[in-house]
Structure 1
Amino acid sequence: MHVGLSLYFLIENSGHFRGYFYTMDIKFHGHACFTISDKILTIVTDPYTESTGLSLPSLTANVVTVSYESPNHNNFKAIQGDPRVFHWPGEYEVAGVHFRGIHSFHNSKDDEEQKENIIFCYIFKDLHLCHLGAQGTKLTSEQLEKVGDVDVLFVPVGKKGALDGKKTKEVIEQIEPRVIIPMMYHTEGSILELDPLNQFLSAMGSNNVESLDQFTFKKSELPENTSKIIVLNPV
């Protein structure tokens, strides 16, 4: 079988194959940018420009999601592989993965001008990941219903004007994920006004924290009836 046909066969039958070898890899590239891959499909979230002070590594993906229309989140043209780009609310499916974009806001309705944000959910067979983007408020009951049960939550923790510290904890308590991956906090090289990670960790008061260069896991390995914080080192 030719390589092109092999790849086509694999993608078209991805839901079947995920039932047999199903390991997820997550890498953090700084700010709100992650690579999420299950060896069949690769997603990049919120790629940034040099406006952050950070240098985006060379990344290749099948899909890019953009949660917030800002140079800090929407540099999808830098991603190789001719990916599909989702930056609006709606329901999509690529290679057996269901994508759900949920309309939300970056800031409070009390502010002079509310800025739109998109919460993205990624459903790989029975594994549910959720990237809150630049979310700035607690979720409404309608948003919570659309988000559903979450295994892995990517949550902003240090953004002034968005979620930070106490507000982040309230949103986590709403969603009750099994794993929490913090993002949008100060990292080396960043010139954005962001709080350090330790402020979020102090607010959470959790001892169940692990620092990794890459988070590789199966759903069966995730904690039950509790939440674990995974801090990913930027790569």
Structure 2
Amino acid sequence: MIRLHGHSMISIGDFLVIDPHDGGSIGLPRPVMRRAEYVFMTHDHYDHNAFQIIESKEKRTGFTGTFSSSGYSIQGIRVNHDRNGGKSRGKTSIYTVKIGNLSFVHMGDIGEYPRESLIKDLAADILALPVGGVITIDGKEASQLVKEISPSVVIPMHYWVKGHLMPLDPPDEFLNLTGLQVYLENEIDENNLKKGIYLYKP
């Protein structure tokens, strides 16, 4: 089961948590998940690196390369967190996780539209990507990326909701431009995918 925990935090069963947040520092509910085998953070910013809330046997930040364990395979690719070659906000990672025959891609805080060669490598059944702009790609860019990659399931991340303390854009533009079915659900059964957008429900 894939679970959404708000902002950019997503878990895959009890195996992996990506980009944990602590809730309070960004104005969202504190995640209830407490344990996972691994915690992978796309980059070392406070809204993505609250590893202390998760009990795990290993934590990695900004991972690149390939890692395999418990039947899962994770590939990490470094990209820019801004449009200035990483000079403003540094780097972030994209994580591709193989779940059986499915491919799950977490785009981290990608801050510029990815090059064509990278897009061709991002074959994703489930795509999680930032849509809130300001410090990442925006809703328009994210909707174009969804069209190019054409996943079955889309998970918007890193956008403003009521109570959020970060000055991000809400997901409205992204949702309107994609025009896909929206499910207000925090759990995705990878064995029974419903095509569309899964929007985190606080």
**How many residues align structurally?**
200
Structure with the higher fraction of residues in helix conformation: 1
Which residue number corresponds to residue 113 of structure 1?
88
Which residue number corresponds to residue 155 of structure 1?
129
For 1:210 and 1:26, the matched residues in 2 are separated by 14
Cα displacement (A) at 1:74: 1.0
Letter in 1 for 2:46: P
For 2:96 and 2:161, the matched residues in 1 are separated by 25
The 3 A distance-change label for structure 1 pair 197 and 141 is closer
Which residue number corresponds to residue 51 of structure 1?
25
Kindly report which structure 2 residues correspond to 1:1-235, keeping only aligned pairs within 5 A, or say none: 25-37=1-13, 41-49=14-22, 50-58=24-32, 59-109=34-84, 113=88, 115-147=90-122, 149-204=123-178, 206-218=179-191, 221-222=192-193, 228-234=196-202
SS at match of 1:52: coil
Q: Structure 1, residues 160-202: CA drift from partner, whole Å, max 9, x if none?
A: 1212211111222232211101111112331001111222212
* 8 A contact 2:26–2:165 mirrored in 1: yes
Letter in 2 for 1:153: L
For 2:58 and 2:89, the matched residues in 1 are separated by 29
Letter in 2 for 1:128: S
Q: Structure 1, residues 20-42: CA drift from partner, whole Å, max 9, x if none?
A: xxxxx1222111011211xxx52
For 2:16 and 2:86, the matched residues in 1 are separated by 33
Q: Structure 1, residues 87-112: CA drift from partner, whole Å, max 9, x if none?
A: 32111001110000011111113785
Identity %: 26
Cα displacement (A) at 1:55: 4.1
* 8 A contact 2:139–2:171 mirrored in 1: no
Tell me the TM-score normalised to structure 2 length.
0.88
* 8 A contact 2:27–2:163 mirrored in 1: yes
The 3 A distance-change label for structure 1 pair 113 and 87 is closer
For 1:114 and 1:51, the matched residues in 2 are separated by 19
* 8 A contact 1:159–1:193 mirrored in 2: no
The root-mean-square deviation of aligned C-alpha atoms, in Å, is 2.1
For 1:228 and 1:80, the matched residues in 2 are separated by 32
SS at match of 1:51: coil
Tell me the TM-score normalised to structure 1 length.
0.77
Letter in 2 for 1:36: I
Q: Structure 1, residues 19-68: CA drift from partner, whole Å, max 9, x if none?
A: xxxxxx1222111011211xxx5211101243312343242111111112
Letter in 2 for 1:80: E
Q: Please, which runs of 5 or more residues in structure 2 have no aligned partner?
A: none
Q: Please, which runs of 5 or more residues in structure 1 have no aligned partner?
A: 1-24
